[in-house]
Amino acid sequence: MITVTKTYLPPIKEYIKYVEEIWKSGFITNHSKYVLSLEKKLKKYLEVKHLFFVSNGTTALQIAIRALDLKDGEIITTPFSYVASTSSIVWEHCRPIFVDIDPGTLTIDVKKIQKAITSKTKAILAVHVYGNSCDVEAIGKIAKKNKLKIIYDAAHAFGVKYKKIPLVNFGDISILSFHATKIFHTVEGGAITTSDDQFAHKISYMRNFGHNGEESFFGLGINGKNTEFHAAMGLAILPKVKTFISRRRKLSKLYDEALKRAKLTRPGLFENLEYNYSYYPVIFESESELLRVKNSLNKHNIFPRRYFYPSLNTLNYVKKYSCPVSEDIARRIMCLPLYESLSKEEVNLIAKLIIASQKEVS
């Protein structure tokens, strides 16, 4: 079976070394040795001032919205993302205002943001789609002009840099996902980053029930902590991430070459980007063609994914907005398998099957 992604697991001996130390210490949660060590190493790797390891990327988004005090406000966001980008806004009693996407990069169309701003707008929550950077400079100018906060959903953008600056350094807060499907993972997990000391203080207590020591509280919080076991997985994987990115780059170039004769287009990368090759999305000429190709691959035990589908402005718990570009792309885009252990032969097989499926009806 070839799946859209495959979780990397380090040699079990490497992980067991950490587990044995956890057993000896008896400390398995509450910001113990390995959680603190992982946070320190991630801050260095990602070149960020503050980083907080949390239970998952969705919790990270919820805490970010709370830390910026956005409750009951409007948040401008993209309809082209994983559902958590929108559901977190609604869950935190805010209103998502959808702005359509740029047809080239598939990130939020900055030319349409200003028109969506009202007196109730409090923030922009933009997504680095497939690890591809938003226009962070333009968004920064819009936010400054209108006195808005910025949250970047960088769930796919681990290690990505724009003009040699890590993407997680832009905006007021960025969030990361360390889910098992990501380049860097902790099985389940996520992180919140910020350069602002005040926001950092709020995040630090919000993820831990609001505690100020054992018997007092700074304010409202939830249980957003993560464990020593999850941190240990991250510590075992982090040294290998640059190798993973290099391997994915080679596989992506193999796809590029193998799919030259296919009737497909690819999203364009934003300029001046050091990319992490998180995904390999392809856009078909029609939804019917996508479904035909998907069915053909499935018959050969190959399972790509319609990522992202549907367009989030069509969810049944949000106000409807017209986002024709996002709705069109969501119907026609699919991510092909991409992971470190994928072989050259498997890439060529996938490409061959796609081309053959397209020829059947041409």
295-347 residue pLDDT tens = 999 999 999 999 999 999 999 999 999 999 999 999 999 999 999 999 999 99
Which amino acid would we find at residue 304?
A: P
Instruction: Flag whether pLDDT at 228 surpasses 80.
Output: yes
Bridge-based pairing state of the strands 190-194 and 273-274: unpaired
Mean pLDDT of the chain: 97
Please provide the distance, in angstroms rounded to a whole number, between the alpha carbons at the two ends of the chain. Answer: 28
Classify burial at 301, counting beta carbons within 10 Å of its beta carbon; exposed 0-12, middle 13-18, buried 19 or more: exposed
108 touches 132 (CB < 8 A): no
Cα 89 → chain centroid:
16
CA distance 90 to 97: 11
**Which of the four pLDDT bands, split at 50, 70 and 90, describes residue 357?**
very high
138 in the same domain as 37: yes
pTM as predicted: 0.97
Instruction: Flag whether pLDDT at 361 surpasses 80.
Output: no
Task: State which of 208, 239, 270 marks the end of a domain.
Answer: 239
95 in the same domain as 121: yes
- Kindly report the CA angle at 343 between 351 and 296, in degrees rounded to 5? 35
Task: State which of 194, 217, 239 marks the end of a domain.
Answer: 239
Q: How many domains does the chain have?
A: 2
Segment 252-275 mean pLDDT: 97
273 in the same domain as 208: no
Task: State which of 239, 256, 289 marks the end of a domain.
Answer: 239
Query: Which position has the token pair 């956890």?
Result: 22
175 touches 61 (CB < 8 A): yes
Segment 250-266 mean pLDDT: 97
190 in the same domain as 70: yes
221 in the same domain as 82: yes
Instruction: Flag whether pLDDT at 353 surpasses 80.
Output: yes
246 in the same domain as 234: no
CATH number at residue 338: 3.90.1150.10
188 touches 56 (CB < 8 A): yes
197 in the same domain as 140: yes
CATH number at residue 193: 3.40.640.10
User: Between these two residues, 359 and 100, which has the higher pLDDT value?
Assistant: 100
Each residue's pLDDT tens digit, 176-214:
999 999 999 999 999 999 999 999 999 999 999 999 998
**Which of the four pLDDT bands, split at 50, 70 and 90, describes residue 359?**
confident
298 in the same domain as 207: no
232 in the same domain as 94: yes
How confident is the model at residue 208, as a pLDDT?
96
Query: Which position has the token pair 């994914």?
Result: 305
83 in the same domain as 34: yes
How confident is the model at residue 360, as a pLDDT?
80
172 in the same domain as 33: yes
Helical spans, DSSP H, in the chain: 12-25, 33-46, 57-67, 84-91, 113-116, 136-146, 197-206, 228-237, 241-258, 287-299, 324-332, 344-359
**Which of the four pLDDT bands, split at 50, 70 and 90, describes residue 74?**
very high
Q: Give the domain range for residue 348.
A: 241-359
Segment 114-130 mean pLDDT: 98
Instruction: Flag whether pLDDT at 362 surpasses 90.
Output: no
Segment 18-27 mean pLDDT: 97
CA distance 22 to 18: 6
103 in the same domain as 76: yes
Instruction: Flag whether pLDDT at 144 surpasses 80.
Output: yes
